Amino acid sequence: MGDYMQVVTNILMTTVIYATPLVLAALGGLFSERSGVVNIGLEGLMIIGAFMGAVGTIATGSAWMGLILSIIAGIILALPHAVATITFKADQVVSGVAINFLALGISMYLVKYLYNGAGQTPVVPETLDRVAIPFLSEIPVIGPSLFQALPFTYIAIIAAFITYFLLYRTAFGMRIRAVGEHPHAAETAGVSVVGIRYLAVIISGALAAMGGASLSIAIGSEFNQATVAGQGFIALAALIFGKWRPLGVLGAATFFGFAVALALTGQLIGLSAYVPSEILSMLPYILTILALAGFVGRAEAPNALGKPYEKGTR
Amino acid sequence: MQSLLARLNKYSGATTAIISILLGMVVGAIMMLAAGYNPVAAYNALFVSALFQPYDLGETIRTITPLILTGLAVAIAFRTGLFNIGVEGQFIVGQLVAFIVATQLGLPPVIQVIVAVIMGGLAGALWGLVPGFLKASRGVHEVIVSIMMNFIALYLSNYLIRTWLAKGADSTPKIADSPPLKVDVLSQIFGGSRIHLGIFIALLGVFVMYYLLYRTKLGYELRAVGYNPRASEYAGMSVKRNIILSMMISGSFAGLAGASEVLGTSGYLSIEAAFTGIGFDGIAVALLGGNTPLGVIFAASLFGVLNYGGGNMQFEADVPFEVIRVVVAAIILFVAANISTKIVGRFRKQKGVKKHG
């Protein structure tokens, strides 16, 4: 019985750890996409965040400084996406693909330059370790995963609720939604479509970079080519599976984290004898396709998603 | 009049491409300068080492081969107004099925290779069918489904390799007398390099795409749907059918790329933690090549030279290879933002020249 509890506790802890970067990045994607700008570049924004988190921590000796620098790097890399898609009206998906290329290129180029041709950064001198919340962390089973969690986990959960509040309870959030659903009506009502979209893409860069940083200065402790390996795309899936809603995204990312946790702990708990780990790893993607196809609920994308805004057209 | 317009379009496409390439290389040069490297020496090393020796030329052509096919894959989907970002996954299943045919069926050697190539293409088509069908039948965006299909392909491939093809090891044994697409004569002409018959599959693919697009009714319909789906529907074409066919043809090019790689270059499969990137490179190739068959050859050649020469550049001029990724990314961004027409357009406006309606 004790063993059984321990297994569940472990699975929950792994779930929360894997969900954390996904929640942050998917919330980033949410801001961008609710404003009408597709962000396939989440992966690249996570890469640059992970890179800068590690390099910043090494340079300053402080993981918190590393996090701040990584947020700045995410904002800087989000800018070319914003300029290309909003100002130059480039295809948003293509631009996002370019951002992914750009991030991997720049980060590995700089790693080799900074660390004499090495394929990874040195181990960071400080990581953002688990912080226990008094009393709550004593709760059996869920205590260790939720209340003795990484600072990034607390940030991710709080960010989901702040996003919810911003989006549905403030004028700024209403403008983001208006711009993403009906930009011309929003413009007529005096909202700057270009301004709101720029801001939304910048916020998405900051959040996705934080998600990336969690991989290099908390969950892991260095940056290399494989530090971010598809999490940006899973975050994108979580965004869709969560129907572009903050709390839906939180739930979807947690569910995907759970699938990863099962795939990873399958060996330990004897699950892999029945279901191969690769099948468990596929699960998030298969479910997302089923969700999109309308077999598992219906995914409703923002109306103006993917369409460049042209003044004076309808 | 129409041909003039078409020619103008082509001209501006080529201008965009050339300006974007130059700007992309400037971005790379700036990055090299900022890090204290010599960009002239680096680019020199890159181009000289990629082209001037028979061996290197053969290796460059080997690098170009899959890029042509994945470029065609992305391009034909684009022509129908679809973005096939799933080329990576279609490449993986093409590779997987071609390998299975080549190792498990026990057919006579030459027939076996031919069947393996064809089955690889069909596997890619099947993988492209899923996003195509969901787009046509349920209006689901093909980009998202394609991305998901990439991961499913990766894990499926890993699963079959681990449990069946490699029997618990990380990589499979090589195909017998491997790689089967490699022929000694060709290799010897190019200084013993790993160039293989895949390049002819790729060139055949270019011809097929050209013929299909411009000389058949299907190609006309595919392009019409890409230009204007509503008008095509009104003219009696089935948009849904064309979407599905386009994604399947696209997937088959990607599958052929995978088959050509495993049968021509590596000869074995291994468990992969991440994607090869060849499929994603196809996006860059198609965009830069303006989604035309000939453009794809040029763009694939450029990226092939950059990719292969970039490795030597790292060796000879000591500049990290990754700067090439930045150059490619910058080129995509510049092409996507259509930077040259924006500049030229502004210039024209100032001179008071009217735009073509």
DSSP code at position A131: E
Tell whether B16 is covered by a domain: no
Rounded to the nearest angstrom, the gap between the alpha carbon of residue B169 and the centroid of all alpha carbons in its chain is 30
- Residue B337 pLDDT exceeds 90: no
Q: Does any domain span residue B306?
A: no
So what's the pLDDT on residue B114?
96
Question: Is the minimum CB–CB distance between A262 and chain B shorter than 8 Å?
Answer: no
Q: Which residue has the higher pLDDT, B46 or B8?
A: B46
Contacts of A96 in chain B (CB under 8 A): none
Nearest to B95 by CA among B77, B70, B71: B70
Torsion of CA B199, B209, B101, B88, to 10 degrees: 90
**B320–A117: do the CB atoms touch at under 8 Å?**
yes
**B349, part of any domain:** no
Instruction: Report the candidate in B268, B256, B6, B261 with the shortest Cα–Cα distance to residue B123.
Output: B256
Positive or negative, the CA dihedral A74, A79, A84, A85 is positive
CA A14 remoteness from chain centre: 17
Between chain A and chain B, how many beta carbons pairs sit less than 8 Å apart?
Answer: 140
Q: Which of B89, B42, B186 is nearest to A233 (CA)?
A: B89
Interchain pair A104, B325: CB under 8 A:
yes
Contacts of B312 (CB under 8 A, 6+ apart): B45, B46, B49, B50, B56
In a domain? residue B51: no
pLDDT recorded at residue A312: 66
| Residue range(s) defining the domain that contains residue B124 | 68-290
Interface test with A, best of B333, B343, B344 (most A CBs within 10 A): B333
Q: Best interface-test mutation with A: which of B92, B135, B326, B335 has the largest number of A CBs within 10 A?
A: B326
In this model, does residue B182 exceed pLDDT 50? yes
- Mark which residues 272-291 of A lie under 8 Å from B by CB: 276, 278-279, 281-282, 285-286, 288-289
Coil/strand/helix, residue A68: helix
CATH number of the domain that A253 lies in?
A: 1.10.3470
Least confident of A11-15, A28-32, A233-237, B178-182: B178-182
First-to-final CA distance of chain B: 12
pLDDT at B345 over 60: no
Q: Is the dihedral of CA B70, B73, B78, B79 positive or negative?
A: positive
Q: How many domains does chain A have?
A: 1
What value does the mean pLDDT of chain B take? 88
Q: Does residue B45 sit within a domain?
A: no
Decide if B149 touches A, using CB distance below 8 A: yes
Q: Does B30 touch chain A (CB under 8 A)?
A: no
Residue A133 located in a structural domain: no
Q: Report, as an integer, the average pLDDT of B317-341.
A: 85
Assess whether pLDDT exceeds 50 at residue B353.
no
Q: Which three-class secondary structure state does DSSP give residue A275?
A: coil
By percentage, how much of chain A surpasses pLDDT 70?
96
pLDDT value of residue A224? 94
Q: Which residue has the tokens 């040069």?
A: B29
Query: 3-class DSSP state for residue A200?
Result: helix
What whole-number percentage of chain A has pLDDT above 90?
Answer: 61
Three-state SS for chain B is CHHHHHHHHHHHHHHHHHHHHHHHHHHHHHHHHHCCCCHHHHHHHHHHHHHCCHHHHHHHHHHHHHHHHHHHHHHHHHHCCCCCCCHHHHHHHHHHHHHHHHHHCCCCHHHHHHHHHHHHHHHHHHHHHHHHHHHHHHCCCHHHHHHHHHHHHHHHHHHHHHHHHCCCCCECCCCCCCCCCCCHHHHHHCCCCCCCCHHHHHHHHHHHHHHHHHHCHHHHHHHHHHHCHHHHHHCCCCHHHHHHHHHHHHHHHHHHHHHHHHHHHHCCCECCCCCCCHHHHHHHHHHHCCCCHHHHHHHHHHHHHHHHHHHHHHHHCCCCCCHHHHHHHHHHHHHHCCHHHHHHHHHHHHHCCCCCC
In a domain? residue A33: yes
Length of chain B: 357
Query: Average of pLDDT values for B76-100?
Result: 95
Which domain range does residue A283 map to?
A: 2-123+148-292
Of A88, A98, A240, the CB nearest to B329: A98
For residues A231 and B147, give the distance between their C-alpha atoms in angstroms, rounded to a whole number. Answer: 12
On whether the CB atoms of residues A74 and A99 are closer than 8 A, the answer is: no
Least confident of A66-70, A128-132, B149-153, B308-312: A128-132
Question: Per residue in A156-183, pLDDT tens?
Answer: 999 999 999 999 999 999 999 999 999 9
Burial class (CB in 10 A: 0-12, 13-18, 19+), A52: buried
Write out residues 166-225 of A within 8 Å (CB-CB) of B.
none
Provide, as residue numbers in chain B, all residues whose Cβ is less than 8 Å from the Cβ of A301: 141
pLDDT category, A222, cuts 50, 70, 90?
very high
Residue B193 near residue B55, CB atoms below 8 Å: yes
H or E element that contains A148: strand A148-149
Q: How far is CA A55 from the centre of its chain?
A: 20
Q: Summarize the confidence of residues B150-164 as an average pLDDT.
A: 95
A257-289 residue pLDDT tens:
888 888 777 767 777 778 888 888 888 888 888
* Record: contact A229-B163, CB cut-off 8 A: no
- What is the separation, in whole angstroms, between the first and last Cα of chain A? 64
The total number of structural domains in chain B stands at 1
Indicate whether A110 belongs to any domain.
Answer: yes
In the prediction, which pLDDT does A216 show?
Answer: 97
What ipTM was predicted for this assembly? 0.84
- Cα B37 to Cα B320: distance, rounded to the nearest angstrom: 10
- Could you give the CA distance from residue A59 to residue A57 in angstroms, rounded to a whole number? 5
pLDDT in tens, B279-290: 888 988 998 898
**When comparing pLDDT for A147 and B164, which is higher?**
B164
Using CB atoms and an 8 Å cut-off, which of residues 73-92 of chain B contact chain A? 83, 85
Residue B227 is predicted with a pLDDT of: 86
With respect to residue A311, please indicate whether it lies within any of the assigned structural domains: no
Residues of chain B with C-beta less than 8 angstroms from the C-beta of A229:
273-274
Helix (H) / strand (E) element for A218: namely none
Q: Which of A83, A121, A282, A298 to substitute to test the interface with B, most B CBs within 10 Å? A: A282
Of A95, A216, A197, A101, the residue nearest A152 (C-alpha): A216
Task: Considering only the beta carbons, identify the residue of A38, A88, A288 that sits closest to B337.
Answer: A88
Residue A84 has pLDDT above 80, yes or no: yes
HSE at residue A229, side-chain half, CA atoms within 13 A, is 14
Tell me if B83 and A94 make a contact (CB, 8 A cut-off).
yes
Contacts of B156 in chain A (CB under 8 A): 278, 282
* B280 to A98, A101, B176, B263, B344: CA distances (angstroms): 10, 9, 30, 21, 29
Higher pLDDT, B259 or A229: B259
Instruction: Answer whether residue B109 is part of any domain.
Output: yes
Q: Which amino acid is at B131?
A: P
| Residue B342's pLDDT band (cuts 50, 70, 90) | low
pLDDT band at residue A2, thresholds of 50, 70 and 90?
A: low
Preceding omega of B179 cis (within 30 degrees of 0):
yes
User: Which residues make Cβ contacts (< 8 Å) with residue A168, sequence separation at least 6?
Assistant: none
**Domain assignment present for A94:** yes
According to the model, what pLDDT value does residue B314 have?
87
**Residue B251 neighbours by CB distance under 10 Å:** 35
Q: Is residue B303 part of a domain?
A: no
In this structure, which amino acid lies at residue A273? A
Mean pLDDT of chain A: 89
Residues of B in contact with A289 (CB under 8 A): 130, 134, 140, 145, 148-149
